Each structure stands twice: as structure tokens, then as C-alpha cells.
A and B are shown apart, each in its own frame.
Chain A
Amino acid sequence: ETGVTQTPRHLVMGMTNKKSLKCEQHLGHNAMYWYKQSAKKPLELMFVYNFKEQTENNSVPSRFSPECPNSSHLFLHLHTLQPEDSALYLCASSQDRGLGLNEQFFGPGTRLTVL
């Protein structure tokens, strides 16, 4: 139990569906992250929020839309996805986005399958 929870743990959706992934951290952190993990590939950073403001978007397609209503919650809204978007989506949090001793704690992930 890392203090970061994600729901749902598994999601199967069609290419025309709209769904949302939810992440909640109970650590009092101010920075939250979305990563995509595909088989045999390094973790890919998608989005970074620091104090509810988006600070990084690593050229993620617009069919992925993040939302951070407060420092404890992070959503990833999905619409018109492609089969190649099937992956494990990981949420992480850290104290802030600074350069100090500021390690990231990961949630268990949502396993997404796009049919």
C-alpha cells in the first residue's frame, strides 16, 4: 500500500466509448503524474500536475484529457481511443515537482484494453 489508489483496476472499452480513470493520493503530496506502461518499453511520462496546474504534456494525443481538481485527485478522461492505446496506466505522486529529494510513489495502475 503506497498511499496512491487507482480505479478501476481493469477497463475494457470500445473505440467509440468515453471512460475516465481516477487516481487519489493520501500522502499530502502536491505533484501528480500519469504514465503509460507498454510491454517491453520504458515508462512513458504523459502528464505532470504541480499544485493543480499542468506543467508537462509530453506530446500526448488529445484523445487523452487529464483533469486535476485538487492536489489529491487526478483523472484521465479517455475518448475515441485506438487499440494501440491498450496498456497499463500508472498514476504517481510526489511532494512537489522540485529538484530535491522528491521521489514518486506509484499507484497499482489501471489495465486498459481497447477493442
Chain B
Amino acid sequence: GQQLNQSPQSMFIQEGEDVSMNCTSSSIFNTWLWYKQDPGEGPVLLIALYKAGELTSNGRLTAQFGITRKDSFLNISASIPSDVGIYFCAGRSNTGKLIFGQGTTLQVKP
């Protein structure tokens, strides 16, 4: 079946540093989504991408829909302690099925 490979699996960074994570797939997707999950909560949608090459920002977060439609990345600039959590990518195929990545656990040291 379709799978997403999300990397890195975890990151431990200093406050103020920039962060980059990505998802790749062997299949083409029509939509890429990025979610954040805080401890003890459900995932919250951060950014949605609907066109190949699209670059979208949400505050300090920037995400891009890869030109090949098989990948996407998320960047966080100037990280702060509240950025801590698990970040998930998700891709939607032309069948409408949503596939999730394994998640990137981010820890920020003040």
C-alpha cells in the first residue's frame, strides 16, 4: 500500500534554531497536509497544500508541495519552547484516501 517516509524521526534543538523536516512517497499525492500534535491532544492542522510547487506560510512555519508531487517539507524558523510536539505530514491521493507519516518529535531546549 501507499506509505509516507517522514524524517527525521526526532529532533532536539536549541531555542532560536531553525528546523526542517520532510516527507517523501513513491506515490503521487494531490494534497499535502502538515499537523502538529501536542502531548495529550489530537493533531491540529497547520498548513494545507493543494498545488505542486505551492509554498505556504503560517507565521514562522513554511511548507512546500514538491514539484514531483511525491514530497513535501516543513520549516520552522526561530524555534521557541512551545513548538515542542509531534509533527505529522499527510498526503491525499486521487482516491481521497489520507495517508499519514510516522511523525517527527521535536524537542526545544530553552
Residues in A lying within 8 Å of B, measured CB to CB? 2, 4, 6, 40-43, 45, 90, 92, 97-99, 101, 103-109, 111
Contacts and interface: CB of A to CB of B under 8 A. Distances in A.
B96 A99 contact: yes
Contacts of A42: 4, 88, 99-103
B76 interface: no
20 contacts: A4-B42, A42-B4, A42-B101, A43-B88, A43-B100, A45-B97, A45-B98, A90-B42, A90-B43, A92-B42, A97-B96, A98-B96, A99-B30, A99-B94, A99-B96, A103-B33, A103-B45, A106-B42, A108-B40, A111-B40
Task: Give me the 9 closest cross-chain CB pairs, A-B, nearest first.
Answer: A106-B42, A43-B100, A42-B100, A99-B96, A106-B43, A108-B42, A108-B41, A109-B42, A107-B42
Q: How big is the B interface, by class?
A: 20 to 34
B48 interface: yes
Interface of B: 4, 30, 33, 35, 40-45, 48, 50, 88, 92, 94, 96-103
Nearest to B88: A43
A44 to B, nearest CB: 8
Contacts of A104: 45, 98
Contacts of A90: 42-43
Contacts of B92: 99
A99 B42 CA distance: 23
Contacts of A98: 96
Contact of B42 (A2, A41, A45, A101): A2
